[in-house]
Amino acid sequence: MLFHLVWLGALAAAQSSQPILTLSGSNRRLTGADATPTLSLSDFEASTFGTGTMSDLSARTGTVNATASGTTSENPLTLLVGGTRTTAVSGNVTASTTTTTARPSNTQPCNNYPEFCTRRYSNITEVCAHNSPFARKNNAGSNQQYGVTQQLNDGIRMLQGQTHLVNGTLYYCHTSCELLNVGTVEGYLTEVTEWVRSHPFDVITIIFGNFDYEQKDANGNPLVTSKNFLEPIENSGLKQFIYQPPKTAMTLEDWPTLGELIVKGKRVITFIDYNYDTNAVPYMLWEFYNMWETPYSPTDVNFPCTVGRPEGLSQNKSRSMLYMANHNLNVEVSIAGTSLLIPNTVDLNVTNGLNGTGSLGLMAERCTADWGRPPNFLLVDYYNAGPFNGSVFEVAARANNVTYNRECCGAESVATVLVRPLGVWLGMVVAVVVGLML
């Protein structure tokens, strides 16, 4: 796989006095059955790059102690380590240091933008797929058109979904597993892990929605907590990539840069909305210790930027935390006394647009003005729908002050597919509700 790498990934400019790890190369091709286009501490330990010897090459975010092996073609790999030091590896030589003040520019994207490598995780706006697992055609419980692999390929960097415990196994189900069951949490996380493994310069966030948080066991204890997620996380292989924060309640200044997360190989951040247990699962943070949300499941096209969850959060505290703008417009349907909220797909061109009342762009601007900083996450339904392909990512790019120039989304546009479904979905909702009542 041909690619050009110049990566200045560990620190922001303000931290220039600290060591910096730089990886560079030009038109390098990795060969061999096990070769993968990866760059992180774990990759060096797996010896996938170059033919030189690396000894005690230190960066602020970790230390490499390994011998590089493998086969490459064309240009050799160069390693630069230190704020004012450079260490070059070329051919079969031992790394040594020389003094220089020159620094390469960063051209390797982190989360799709080179500018993000030196930004804190808490200083970036990403798009979140609301109910990411629920992408099933012709089902009233769906919130997305494409599956999680395509979501991540298109630029989604936060995944959220509702889990249900059924006979001791966690499933992703919408409202009830009779309405929409897309499979086990383990199966979903296995697919996510495969994507994470093959995208070494990307950091993603997962929020586990614990639908059963109010259920109790025979002793009156919560039936489902963070501990129930241990098995699917470990069995899927995801655990090796999960970042464990040093604190259970992180402030904006506590979060590392994307570069630091990437070079450590810890590129997945996990939260749970209810029934956290950081003693049993220290890497799964309680969402509302670390992040607040604007009003949840909104039906109000004005999309207020006020604090919705958790209730009672002070202004001072909220300004030191991550925050998510819920921007998934719903329509309420009442059938035989049962009230359901389903995505308002008719207005997606406006809801996921850049301008006008009810648009994602207007909400991002208003929240930025209200709080002095953009939202960290923009939660949306059908991220691929809008006035043009990738409109939600354009909104995020403007909030981040970067240029969005990627292609989006999926195999085809859903603009024509989603113009008509409200009536069709209403009919399906009637059928499903009637079926559940029988």
**Residue whose C-alpha is closest to residue 247's, from 157, 161, 321:** 321
Fill in the DSSP letter of residue 286. Answer: E
Cα–Cα dist 88/61, whole Å: 19
Strands (E), 62-157: 62-67, 71-73, 78-81, 85-88, 96-99, 126-129
Cα–Cα dist 343/285, whole Å: 28
111 and 62 Cβ atoms separated by less than 8 Å: no
310 and 331 Cβ atoms separated by less than 8 Å: no
φ, ψ at 398 (rounded to 5°): -65, -40
φ, ψ at 41 (rounded to 5°): -60, -40
Q: Give the tokens for residue 396.
A: 């995020």
Residue with tokens 């031992």: 94
Cα–Cα dist 277/204, whole Å: 21
In the residue annotation, 4 being an active-site residue is answered as no
Strand 96-99 vs strand 85-88: parallel, antiparallel, or unpaired?
antiparallel
In sequence order, what are the residues at sequence separation of 6 or more whose Cβ sits closer than 8 angstroms to the Cβ of residue 359?
Answer: 350, 351, 352, 353
129 burial level (CB within 10 Å; 0-12, 13-18, 19+): buried
- Of these residues, 4, 164, 174, 327, which one is catalytic? 174
Count of other CB atoms within 10 angstroms of residue 83: 15
Count of other CB atoms within 10 angstroms of residue 345: 24
Give the residue numbers annotated as catalytic, written as ranges: 130, 174
